[in-house]
Amino acid sequence: MSENSPTSENRSDLIDQLVGSYLTLPVLFSWRHARGLPFPDTFSGARLELKGLATAWVNLEQIIWRADEVRFIHGLPASIRLKTPSIELVIGQAELDRWLGQFRLPYRLELAADGLIVHTELAGFPLAQFETRLEVVGGWFALEPKRASIFGVPSYVPSLFKSYLPLPPLSKETRLSKVTHKSGQLRLRFAIDDFDEEISPGLLLRLRKRFFPVFEQLSGLLGSKD
C-alpha cells in the first residue's frame, strides 16, 4: 500500500466531516480509487488518520488505519468490510517522557534514529546505557537489550534486563509487522485480520475490545466516544 500522505491521494472534506461527525472526532480520510453508483461505496488504498489521541498509557501523536479495500455494505444496519487492514501508532518523545515521569523510574527511554536506548540512573547520576530491540512477549511490547555500556565502557548485556513500552497488549488478531525509528519518534505498524463490522452505536468500543483486550482502560485510543 502507498505510504504517501493524504494530500497526494484523493480526499473529500465532506467525507471527512461525515466520518468525523459519526466518530465524534476530527479525521482525515483518503483513498487511491473509488467505485460504486450512485455514490461510491468501495475505496481502494484507504487511509484514515487521527491525531493527538490520549490513552491510559502513553499519549499518541497519531493513529493511522490503512486497508487495501474498504467497502460499505448497505442494509439495516449497514456494515463495513476491511481487507488487509493495518493500524499504525505514532509515539513522540515528549509524551513518552511525560508518561515515564509519573512513576519516577530509574531509567529514561530515548527514541533514537536507529533504535530505542534505555538510560539507567541513580540519584540523577548516569550508570548504564542499553541499546534495545522491540519484541512482543505475551502480547506486551518488550525492550530486549542488544548492546550495553557501563559508565561509557562497552559491557556485557545482562540477559535478565528487560523493560516494556507503556502500550496496551495485543490481541491474537493483531501482529506487529513494522517498526520505524526516527529521532524523537517511534512508529509501530500492526497487521490485522480482515473483518466486517456493523455501523451502529458502539462501533469504536467493539473495535477497541477486539484488537486491544484492555479496551476498558483506554481513554481515547480510537476516540473517547462511540
> Per-residue pLDDT tens for 64-97?
999 999 999 988 888 999 999 999 989 999 998 9
Same domain, 107 and 198: no
For the beta carbon of residue 78, count every other beta carbon within 10 angstroms. Answer: 12
Is residue 154 very low, low, confident or very high in pLDDT (cuts 50, 70, 90)?
low
Q: Looking at the domain assignment, is residue 29 inside a domain?
A: yes
Identify the domain boundary among 164, 186, 206. Answer: 164
Residue 131 shares a structural domain with residue 21: no
Residue located via cell numbers 491474537: 172
* DSSP letter for each residue of 10-21: EE-HHHHHHHHH
Query: 71 and 177, same structural domain?
Result: yes
Provide DSSP, 59-82: -EEEEEEEEEEEEEE-SSS-EEEE
User: What tens digit of pLDDT does each residue of 170-182 get?
Assistant: 778 888 899 999 9
Number of domains in the chain: 2
pTM of the model: 0.77
Query: What whole-number distance in Å separates Cα of residue 117 and Cα of residue 151?
Result: 15
CA 81 – CA 208 distance, rounded (Å): 16
| Preceding omega of 6 cis (within 30 degrees of 0) | no
pLDDT band at 150 (very low <50, low <70, confident <90, very high): low
pLDDT at residue 147 is higher than 90: no
One domain, residues 212 and 103: no
Are both 52 and 141 inside the same structural domain?
A: no
Residue 223 falls inside a structural domain: no
Residues 88 and 177 in one domain: yes
Sign of CA dihedral 62, 66, 72, 77: negative
Domain stop point among 164, 187, 207: 164
Beta strands 79-92 and 107-112, pairing class? unpaired
Give the lowest-confidence range in 119-128, 142-151, 165-174, 209-218. 209-218
Q: Is 21 among the domain residues?
A: yes
Residue 222, domain member (yes or no): no
| CB-based contact 23:36 (threshold 8 Å) | no
Q: Is there a single domain that holds both residue 86 and residue 131?
A: no
Last residue of one domain, picked from the residues 120, 138, 164: 164
Residues 123 and 26 in one domain: no
**113: in domain:** yes
86 shares its domain with 20: yes
1 in a domain, yes or no? no
- 25 and 84 both lie in a single domain: yes
DSSP bridge partners of 67: 46, 85
Q: Of all residues in the chain, what percent carry a pLDDT higher than 70?
A: 79
SS3 104: coil
Regarding whether 87 and 19 lie in a shared domain, the answer is: yes
- The set of cell numbers assigned to 168 is 496496551
In the 8-state DSSP scheme, what is residue 211?
H
Rounded distance between C-alpha atoms, residue 53 and residue 59, angstroms: 6
Flag whether 73 is in a domain. Answer: yes
Question: Which cell numbers in the block locate residue 144?
Answer: 530486549
Q: Which amino acid is at 123?
A: A
Same domain? 176 vs 88: yes
Assigned C-alpha cell, 9: 491521494
Q: Which domain holds residue 10?
A: 6-92+172-217
Domain contains 224: no
Find where cell 471527512 sits. 16
Ramachandran category for residue 102: left, alpha or beta (phi over 0 → left; psi -120 to 50 → alpha): alpha
